[in-house]
Amino acid sequence: MRSNASCGPIIGEKNMKENKAYGQFTRKDEVRFVRLLPGPIERVWTYLTDSEKRGTWLAKGSMDLRVGGRVELKFHHADFVPHEKIPDKWKHVAGGHGLEGRITRCEPPRVLSFTWPEEPGDNSEVTFELAERGEDVELVLTHRRLPNSEMARGVAGGWHAHLGVLAARLAEAPLPPFWGTMLRLESGYRRRLAAAFPEK
């Protein structure tokens, strides 16, 4: 049973532990996360598709919710972690940055996929899949066709940190560290990718 609105939704200890689990490198160029979030599914969907809500954990920007529709993501991390000091290695994004992609799959409120071109010629793609699990919602996030190992490690740490903020927002809980999470997990994702796909 959920708590009353003044206390926010409840997330069990098991869910909290699972929501901190490392993403899995399912291929050398692909990382996959599974998270269990407070429902209902329509609410989680709005945190993926509504610019203002998405801006509280990832990036603002418009989405034309149809296959082929334009996706605009405007990253400005200080909007949701204003009190965290940005580490030197990420200060180049401190003033904000953006990207533009295209929707490749849109099945509200269960599946959303779009291209994620960080650099010219990139064709990586992000897919969010939502499924009801009682009062909760299972989110499976897959980022595929990453261009190289460095990008795969960085993307894995970034999604891990962003999904931590999303889970906290949906649970109406205190926000976890963002930059601190990325720094803490950097070496872990490097080891996991190397173990899963050793260099020949």
For every residue of 158-176, DSSP letters joined together read HHHHHHHHHHHHHHT-PPP
Tell me the pLDDT of the chain averaged across its residues: 89
Statement: residue 93 has pLDDT above 80: no
pLDDT tens digits for 60-74? Answer: 999 999 999 999 999
pLDDT tens digits for 131-170? Answer: 999 999 999 999 999 999 999 999 999 999 999 999 999 9
CA atoms within 13 Å, Cβ hemisphere of 186: 11
Closest CA to 135 of 4, 38, 46: 38
pTM, to two decimals: 0.89
Residue with tokens 């796909």: 197
Spatial separation of the C-alpha atoms in residues 1 and 158, rounded to whole Å: 32
Spatial separation of the C-alpha atoms in residues 107 and 65, rounded to whole Å: 9
What pLDDT shows up at residue 4? 38
Amino acid at 76: H
Spatial separation of the C-alpha atoms in residues 183 and 161, rounded to whole Å: 10
Return the H-helix or E-strand segment holding 195. Answer: helix 179-196
Residue with tokens 């949701």: 80
Q: Which domains does the chain carry?
A: 13-196 (3.30.530.20)
pLDDT confidence bin for 11, thresholds 50/70/90? very low
Per the model's pLDDT, the better-predicted residue between 117 and 20 turns out to be: 117
Amino acid at 193: L
* Average pLDDT for 169-188: 93
Spatial separation of the C-alpha atoms in residues 132 and 54, rounded to whole Å: 20
